[in-house]
Every structure is written in structure tokens, then in C-alpha cells.
Amino acid sequence: MNYVDRLSNVTVLGAGGKMGSGILLLTAMEMADLSLKPENKHKQFVLNAIDVSDKALSSLMDFLKTQTQKAAEKKTVLLRQIYHDRADLIENFDIIEQYVFDVLKLVRCSNRLESSYESTLIFEAILEDPQLKVKILSQIDRNNPNNPYFMTNTSSIPIHELDEKAGLSGRIIGFHFYNPPAVQKLVELIPAKSTQKELVDFALTYAKNLRKTIVPARDVAGFIGNGHFMRDALHAIAEVERLSEQMPFVEAVYMINKVSQDFLIRPMGIFQLIDYVGLDVCRYIMSVMNARLKNEDIRSPLLDRLIEKGIRGGQHGDGSQKDGILKYERGKPTAVFDPEKESYENFSSFQAKCDEKLGLLPEAAQPWKVVIASPDRQTILAAHFDELKSIKTMGAELAMRYGRRSMEIAQNLVKDQVAENENDVNTVLLSGFYHAYGPINEYFN
């Protein structure tokens, strides 16, 4: 079965979710582009959008329409070539409207798994639950006569486990999009040892057509992205617990969050990132890794405690940040949750004291937004970290400890062959997490 035939009938599971909707959008446009080629105009293309939530599906088409229109507006020159034989499409808005129609007409929304039984390709973006994934994937495979390929968006569960337990005979591969899929360029590609070579080749072609940056990862729980992020988060939590022996918990959280963002020049502090992903999601990923990596203790009693008190994080339906370890107003953190008092304490009551303890940033310091956009990024970073090494302040000490641990985590991913090389780890953190520099660098030597 060639590339076009494989993409003639596709299903996205979890299509109404944040990841699934982005995967659906990208796949719908790729399928529409294929359907508009002269040699494919007589082929039928179907894209099944399956989700258990009727509410999510009801808003999905509006999302697809809006995003497809934005994409079409950026490629009107190409679309004019595609529709060159359509004399009725004269103005750009006519062409854009036609393309949106051609994309949306492929999509069939459903909350019935049976809709996937004729598909030749299944994208899976459901809950990060091994048992649920195995149950659904095996049910589809038993009832689907087409020997479909399965591409799972799991960010932590080993692919070989899903393959073996669902009985897929090597027709599954990890294809981990980063959030949001339509914007993020990075994809971690995780074949199991049993994954069929033809599926690997298909996945590489699909990624190339989507203009994605592919980083291969070994089939080890957590892979590269979460392999680094979860350990990075555990370091931050350990630092908070250490500092909490000499200062209030809320101050320790504030300080480590500030160090990880401002002193290390990251897009957000580590506790903002944990909130963004969701505390329960982070805990679940840690549990997946902890059960499979026998020589490490990848757990956080602090996360357990906070979750028991109802602290979850994550996003609202409109994409705004829910309160988590930090409280947010207009997207900005303003307070820290105190597990003893079971309430949030505003930054205003301790921020000045904490900032004084941390000390000033290097004079060369620039905000992440400035650094990431600068053509002189390497010079700015070198000046910042050279100065940071020479400063004898609490903030500088915490930042250097943090940076060195981050580098150690990254180097171990290469040592343990989770990543093929140092550049791959750096690419994941640069592209997937928007860091201004890779964790393996000369700044923390």
C-alpha cells in the first residue's frame, strides 16, 4: 500500500482534545492536498474524527474551519496553482473558501469506535493510560480487515508494550507531536524493535510533508522530552524541599521558579511548566517511568500531596491557565499555594524579600523573548553565563546547580542510548520546549 492509499481512510482517536484536534488539522490538510492532485481526483478520502465527548466534537469543526482558513491565507500562491483549472475561482477569497471546503468535507465526526474499522491509518491521541490504549487499539485491530498502521502520540509509554499487549504485529510507532501540533515543529519518532520498516518509512514521509523536525528516540519510558522534563522537575521540587528547611514553602517555590525562568533564561519557570502540563499528568508520566526504570526513584510525594488537596493545573476549555502550584491572573502567576494553610499566598507578601535573597541578575541578562529572537543569541548567552559564574549570590548558586543538573540529565539520556547523540537532546529542548540553548553546553562546565 503506497503513501496515498494509506492516507485515503484515516482515523484520529481523541480528535476533540488539544493534541488530537491539532493532529486532525494537519492530517486533514495533508489529505486535502493529496486529493487535489490530478492523479488522485477520483480517489475517495475520509478522515474520521472520533472522541467520547460530543461537546468537544461540536466545537471541533469551528476550530478546523478557523485554522484551515489561516493556513490557506498563508499559501494562496500555491493554492492558485492547485486550482489553476477552476475558472470560477478568481479572487483570493474564493480560492481560500474553496480550500477550506475541500478540507472540511473530508472530516466525519463520531463518538463510535466502529467508524475506524475501515481505516488504513489510525492516529491515537487519547488519555495517557496504557490499559485504555491497549483496549482500544486491540479492539480496532480485531475488527479492521485492512491491517492498519497505528501512530500513537504517547509521550511516555513504551511502544513495544502497546504492540505486544494489543497484538499489532509491529504495525505501531510512536509519533509524539509537541503541543500545539499545528505550530510546534518537533516530533519525536519512536519505533519499537518490532516496528515494521515500511511504517517507519511512511512516518518519515508524513513528517517531511508536514515540514516537521524529526528526532528519533529509543523506546524507553519517557523518551527524550519527558525523560528530561520529569527529572528536571524533580530537581526543582528537591530544591524547594531543601530550601523549605530554612524558609517558608511559598518563598522556596517562588525562588526556584524565578531562578529557572530568569536566571536560566527559559520561557517560563519550572512550576509554571508543571502547571501548564498539569500536576496529575506529570505524576502519571512519572509513574509510567518509575515502574519501568528500575534504577531510579522517579516519584514526588510533594506532587501527591498537592494533588490530594485538589491542586491540578492544566488549562480551561478556552486555553487559559488553571490555577495549580501557582495562581494566575490574566495568564501571569501572582501567588503560590501553601499546602499547610491550604490557600494561596500572594507574591506581594514575600516577593521583595525573596528577590533580595536571590540577588541581582547579571548585568548582561536579557529576557527570554529578547534572547530567542536575537541574531546575536550566542553572544548574549555567553556574556550572561560568564557573569553568572562570577557572581557570589544565592540566585547565581541555585542557577548553576540547576543548569549542571539539567546537563547531567541530558548527558545520561545519551549515555543510556535513549537519544542517539547530544544534538538530538538539545534539539528536543530547543524545539519542543522553546529553550534558548540546549542543556548540553559549555555554560555550566
Look-up of cell digits 497505528: 150
Q: 70-114: per-residue pLDDT in tens?
A: 999 999 999 999 999 999 998 999 999 999 999 999 999 999 999
Per-residue pLDDT, 245: 96
Q: What is the mean pLDDT of residues 227-252?
A: 98
In whole numbers, what is the pLDDT of the chain averaged over residues?
96
pTM: 0.94
Residue closest to 298 by CA, chosen among 434, 412, 218, 189: 412
- Tell me what pLDDT residue 443 has: 97
Distance CA 98, CA 296 (A): 55
The CA distance from 102 to 82, in Å, is 12
The average pLDDT across 244-264 equals: 98
What is the distance in angstroms between the CA of the first residue and the CA of the last residue of the chain? 51
Domains, the chain, with CATH or none: 3-216 (3.40.50.720), 225-432 (1.10.1040.10)
Report the percent of the chain where pLDDT is more than 70: 100
Residue-level pLDDT at 224: 98
Q: Quick one: cell of 39?
A: 492523479
Q: Does the pLDDT at position 239 exceed 80?
A: yes
Confidence band (pLDDT; 50, 70, 90) for 317? confident
Confidence of residue 319 (pLDDT cuts 50, 70, 90): confident
What pLDDT, on the 0 to 100 scale, is given for residue 6? 97
Query: All 3 cell numbers of residue 313?
Result: 493545573
Q: Judging by DSSP bridges, how do beta strands 149-152 and 121-124 pair with one another? A: parallel
DSSP E strands: which ranges in 299-420? 326-329, 332-338, 343-346
Mean pLDDT for 418-442 is 97
Would you list the DSSP string of 142-163?
HH-TT--EEEE--SSS-HHHHH
